[in-house]
Every structure is written in C-alpha cells, then in structure tokens.
Structure 1
Amino acid sequence: MSPLIAISITTGILSGIWGWTAMSLGLLSWAGFLGCTSYFASPQDGVKGLAQSLLTNLSGVVWALVIIYGSSLFNLEIVGYLMTAVVSFFMCFQAKREWLGFIPGTFIGACATFAADGNWQIVIPSLMLGGLFGYSMKASGLWLHQQLSARATQELVKD
C-alpha cells in the first residue's frame, strides 16, 4: 500500500471523528478542517510543521481582530480598507521570523475569524484541534504504511 493510500484511509476515518468531535464540543467543524488543511499545506513536517501551522493560524486570528476592532473605531468605510492593507502587509512581513514563516497559515487563521464574525473564542479551539487532527491524520497514515510495508517484507522473507 502506498503512503498516499494509507494517509487517505486514516484521513477519512479521522475526518469523520473530527466532525463528530466538533459537533459534540460545539466547535466549528469547517474551521477545524482549515486547521487541518493548514498543517497539510505547511512546508515543515511533523511536530515542527504542526507548531508552525498552529502559530501562524493564531497570529491570523489576532490580525483579523486588529482589523475588525480597529475598523470599528472609525465610522468611515475607507478606514477598514486601509486597515486591511496595512495589516495584510504585516501578516506577510512577520514571515521574517521562521516560526511565523508560513504565510498561508496566517491568512487561514484570519479568514476563519472573519467567517465566524470575529468570534475568536470558538475559532481558536476549532483551528487548534483541527491542526492536531491534521497531524494525526498524516502521522497515523505514515504509521499504517510502515506497518503494512514491514509485514509485506516479512512475508517475502518467509517465502
């Protein structure tokens, strides 16, 4: 079995479990899938990739709140657009720091916050648990592939 098939199997199983978990805990399943997607898209792998995707997702939540609350201080629509421009610059510029270097993760966190009307209290745990599920999907798929490959090798040696 290829690593892709093994990861596909574990991702399918854990996606169903995530859907149930999110519903049971009152979380946003779609935001969790964004956290999962962020991990899968991260240029880093393993725990380092998980940490980077979670940190950039969290920074995106903060940046979105800066835009939301900063724009609300003024009664001019143009201020919101200007805030978006300035904050978007900083969302990219923060990538100078390696641990905040995954720019798409930052935008994923911000977009999730905007989609949830700024409800960061529900977005953060949804993104974080989703990221952990993403990590688990890939790690368990690679583990499954390794186990099946080892078993196949042992059977070849026996014959």
Structure 2
Amino acid sequence: MDAGYIFSIAVGSAIVAGTWTGISTAYAGPLIVSWVGFAGCTSYFTAGGGKNGFIRSMVSNYAGVLIGCIVIMLGSLISDGPLFSGICTGFFTGVICYLAHCDLTKFVPCTFIGGFSTFASGGNWKMLLICLLFGNLVGVGSDYLGRFIYKSIFEKRNRGSNKKDWIIAKILKD
C-alpha cells in the first residue's frame, strides 16, 4: 500500500465511527445498539471491504444471528444443563466452521460476530439485523471516505515514489 493509505482509512473511520456513535446513542437508546454497529463495521473490513465484502459480511452476520436464535430457542425447550450446552455449542460451532466452505459465508469470524451478538442482546434479532446492517454501512462509509481522503491528499504525492505504508517487517518466502 502506498504511503498515506492506512492513515486515510483511519481518518475516514474515525469520522464515520464517531458520527455513528453520536447518532446511535442519542437516538437509538441503549449502548448495545452502538456496539452492534461496530460489530457490523468490523465484519465489513474482515470480509475484505467493497461490494463483495459487504454482501459476504451481511450474509455471514445474519447466518450467525440465525444460529444464535436457534441455540436460544433450543435452550428454552430443552433443559439448559452443562451437557446440553456443550453438545449445542459443539454442534453449532461445527456448522459455522462448515459454512466457511460456502462462498457467501466463508468469513467465519463474521458468522461468529452475528452469533455472539445474538447472545449478548438476549436474542433481540430485530435490533441485531438493523444494527448489523447500519454497522456494515458504517464500514462502507469509512472505507469510501478513507479512499476519498487518500485520493485527495496522498495519491498525487505518491506518484513515482516507492514509499510504502507502515511496513514493520517483511516476511521472507522460503
């Protein structure tokens, strides 16, 4: 990456994330709404960003919410003892890992984010679906604002330069 790119994305993320936090806590109420949005934003970047990352992040997040809701529903129907918890956790962890073989759900961390957000919200899936969507949009906004900042400030400066952004160490190939 050219010099200034990571800085530009960081500035874009700071602006959009700060705006999201201000709006979500002022108008949506509980703090969990804000943090679920950050979970969606994190998923967007984890899935690689852009249009494909947005789609994969959303599908993976929503698959995690569905799995989390199924676990909560099963827990209410079946004795919530340690044996059930272990079997249920093992089975659905396997399901989530298997979903890594599907193109739309191949980002397992995004699916786990949807699942653990479901447990953290007590199964409030309606709020989760909305907040994960907004969070992914925060990711899109951060990404595109960062790219705009990079193009506006750094791109011309980097023409003909070999300076790269924040290289700490190079990993040598065998």
TM-score by length of 2: 0.81
- Poorly superposed stretches of 4+, deviation over 2 Å: 149-154
- The answer on 1:137 being equivalent to 2:139 is no
Structure number with the higher helix fraction is 1
Residue number among 73, 85, 92 corresponding to 1:69 in the alignment: 73
Q: Which amino acid in the other structure matches residue 16 of structure 1? A: G
Aligned counterparts of 1:101 and 1:41: Cα–Cα separation in 2:
11
The aligned residue for residue 25 of structure 1 is 28
3-state secondary structure, aligned to 1:117? coil
Deviations 1:86-124 (A, max 9, x none): 111111101211111000000000011110111111111
| 2:83 is the counterpart of 1:83 | no
Pairwise CA RMSD: 1.8
**1:16 aligns to what?**
18
The CA deviation at 1:139 is 1.5
CA 76–29 in structure 1, closer or farther in 2 if over 3 Å, else same: closer
Aligned residues: 153
Write out per-residue CA displacement over residues 109-156 of structure 1, whole angstroms, 9 at most, x where no aligned residue.
0011110111111111111100110121012101210122356589xx
Indicate the SS of the match to 1:127: helix
Question: Aligned-pair distance for 1:16?
Answer: 1.2
Work out the percentage of aligned pairs sharing the same amino acid.
29
Residues in 1 aligned to 2:80 and 2:122: alpha-carbon distance in whole angstroms: 19
Structure 2 equivalent of residue 6 of structure 1: 8
Gaps of 5+ in 2: 160-174
Deviations 1:40-74 (A, max 9, x none): 122x3311011111110000000001111012111
Unaligned runs of 5+ in 1: 155-159
Question: Retained in 2: the 8 A contact 1:22–1:126?
Answer: no
1:67/1:80 contact within 8 Å kept: no
The partner residue of 2:43 within 14, 32, 38 is 38
